[in-house]
Amino acid sequence: MDLKLTDQETAFREEVRAWVADNLPAHLASKVRGGFRLTRDDMQGWFRILGKKGWHCGSWPIEFGGQGWSPVQKYLFEEECARAGAPRVLSFGPFMVGPVIMKFGNSEQHKRFLPGICSGDVWWSQGYSEPGAGSDLVSVKTRANRKGDVYIVNGQKTWSTYGQYGDWIFCLVRTSQEGKPQNGISFLLIDMTSPGISVRPIKLLDGECEVNEIFFDDVAVPADNLIGEENKGWTYAKYLLGLERTAIANVNRAKQELVRLKHIAQAEGVYADGRFRDEIARLEVEILALELLVLRVLTSRNSGGQPMDIAALLKIRGSEIQQRLLELMMLAAGPASLPFIETAILGEISGDPVVPAHAAPLASGYLNMRKSSIYGGTNEIQRNIVAQTMLA
Active-site residue set: 244
In our burial notation (b when 16+ CB lie closer than 10 A, e otherwise), range 34-68 reads bbbbeeeebbbbbbebbbeeebbbbbbeeebbbbe
**CA-CA distance, 306 to 304, in Å (whole number)?**
7
CA pair distance 49, 170, nearest whole angstrom: 24
Neighbours of 25 (CB within 10 A): 14
**Distance separating alpha carbons of residues 82 and 75, to the nearest angstrom:** 11
Which residue from 38, 97, 64, 26 is spatially nearest to 247, judged by alpha carbons? Answer: 97
Q: How many angstroms separate the most distant Cα atoms in the chain?
A: 71
Closest among 90, 72, 91 to 16, alpha carbons compared: 72
Element (H, E) at 388: helix 379-391
